[in-house]
Amino acid sequence: MSAKTPGFGSGTMKARHGVKDSVLMRARAVGIAGDVESLQLALGAAIGVYDQILATAPPQFKPLVLGAGEKEIQVAREILWAV
């Protein structure tokens, strides 16, 4: 009984998806129809990821995370709440 082992580089290629599978098409399918709404979704996701990284980073790495993105995330929050 032998399991097939993936070859070298397996999983390193970017998958090619059709238009049907694009993020914008999936967003439109759930009612996010416009560019503004799509950008709000993207900003919200970026802010969420940043907040999660900040919440789970070991204390010694938090200053690095804050220094790398605190100003940009603040601008993203301002944009998100302005529209």
Write down the pLDDT at residue 78. 93
Distances (CA, A) of 25 to 29, 45, 61, 83: 6, 17, 37, 22
Residue 42 has pLDDT above 60, yes or no: yes
Write down the pLDDT at residue 50. 93
Write down the pLDDT at residue 75. 93
The pTM for the full model equals 0.61
Q: Measured between alpha carbons, how far is 76 from 69 in angstroms, rounded to an integer?
A: 10
What is the residue whose two structure tokens read 């995330």?
Answer: 73
**What is the C-alpha radius of gyration for the chain, rounded to an integer number of angstroms?**
19
Q: Measured between alpha carbons, how far is 77 from 37 in angstroms, rounded to an integer?
A: 15
Over residues 27-48, mean pLDDT: 83
Average pLDDT over the chain, rounded to an integer? 78
Residue 29 has pLDDT above 90, yes or no: no
**Short-list 53, 56, 33, 48, CA closest to 80:** 48
Backbone angles phi, psi at 2, to 5 degrees: -125, 140
